[in-house]
Amino acid sequence: MSLLALTADVYSRSYRYLEGGPRHFFMYVFGRFRFVRSFMVWRYSHKVAKVSSTEDASLVETQASSLASTVDVDAVVREIQRDGVCTGLNLRPEILEQLHSYSLVATCYGDGKNENAFHYGNDEGVTGSFRLGRYINALGACPTLQNLARDPQLLAIARKYLHTEPVLLCARMWWSLAGPADTWQQKAAGQGFHYDIDGYRGLTFFFYLTNVGPSNGPHVYVRGTHNQKSLKHLVSLHKAQSDEEIASRYGAEKQVCLYGSAGSGFAEDIFGYHKGMHPDQDRLIVQVRYGLRDYGTGHAD
C-alpha cells in the first residue's frame, strides 16, 4: 500500500473519532489497552457516587417490575467479567409480543437508508435486496423499547459491571435478512469478527425476537477477548479479523455460538471479538447498550 493510500485509510477509519473531539480520539487510541481501561473505570467509579446499600437492597423489589425474568445479578456480572458474555436472560412473554408487534407495523429501512423504506412482511420481494432492515429511531417511537432501556434489572447488571451509573448509548432493533451476500456485504452487516470501542468499558444486552438456530444468523462471541487480545490485534487499524485469524490466534474452542428461542437474550462486553452469522432465514434482534460516557458519535437509531 502506498503512503498516500495508507494515509487515506488511517484518516477514513479515524475520522468519526476525531469528529467526536479529543476525549473520544484519546479513548479510541489508548482505550484498547487493558491498563488504561482499568484505570479509567476506576476514575469513573470515584467520580460518580456509588450505589447505596439501600438501593442495592431495593433491587429485590424492582426485579418484580423487570421486563426480563429474574436472574442473579452478581452471578451474571461474574460471568461477564470472566468470559465477556453471559446467557440465560429472557424477556417476559408480553414484552416479546409487544416488540414483535411493533416490528410488523413500524417502517423498516433497508441497510438503514431512508430511500429504502418498507414494512416487513407486507412488501413481498423487497427484503431480498438488503442485508439489514433497521428501525430508525425505534427508541423514540416504541414505548416498550424505552421501558426496556431503563429496566431496573438490566441497569443493576450494567451498574455492577461498569462500577458507576450506566449511561444509555443506544437502544435499537433490526432484521438480519437472508439472501446472497459477498464478504464485504457481510462485514458491513456486522457478519465478520470485529470488536467495538465505544468507551473504556461498556455492556450490551441482546434479545432475540425470533427463534434463532444454526440457520437464523446466531451471534458468535470469542470468550475472554474482552480482556486478552494479541498486541498485533490491539494496534491494528483494522478492528475486524478473518475467521481463520481468530481461530488461529484464540482457538476455535473459545468461540461460543448463541442459539435461543424468541425472547432469549444475553449480556456482552462488545470489546471482545464477536459477529453475527449470515442467516439463511431472517432474524430479528433488539439491542440495549450502556457505557461510562456517551461520546455523541452515533448509535442513536
Average pLDDT over residues 226-250: 93
- Residues in Cβ contact with 222 at an 8 Å cutoff, skipping those fewer than 6 apart: 84, 193, 246, 250, 254, 255, 256, 272, 273, 274
Average pLDDT over residues 20-32: 87
> Mean pLDDT, the chain, as a whole number?
87
Q: What's the rounded Cα separation, in Å, for the pair 172 and 1?
A: 37
Residue 240 lies in a domain: yes
Residue 234 lies in a domain: yes
Q: What is the pLDDT of residue 63?
A: 58
In DSSP terms, 167 is beta-bridged to: 291
Residue 11 lies in a domain: no
Q: Which domain CATH number covers 174?
A: 2.60.120.620
Q: Give per-residue pLDDT as tens, 86-129.
A: 999 999 999 999 999 999 999 999 988 999 999 997 765 566 67
Q: Give per-residue pLDDT as tens, 51-91.
A: 544 455 455 555 568 999 999 999 999 999 999 999 999 99
Average pLDDT over residues 16-22: 68
* Structural domains of the chain, count: 1
Residue 25 lies in a domain: no
Residue 300 lies in a domain: no
**Confidence band (pLDDT; 50, 70, 90) for 134?**
very high
Residue 6 lies in a domain: no
Q: What is the pTM of this model?
A: 0.89
Residue 17 lies in a domain: no
Average pLDDT over residues 29-45: 94
Domain residues for 221?
A: 31-291
Residue 112 lies in a domain: yes
**Confidence band (pLDDT; 50, 70, 90) for 188?**
confident
Per the listing, cell 434482534 goes with 285
Alpha-carbon distances, residue 244 vs 123, 131, 196, 214, 252 (angstroms) = 38, 23, 20, 20, 9
Asked if residue 208 lies in contact with residue 265, where contact means CB atoms within 8 angstroms, the answer is yes
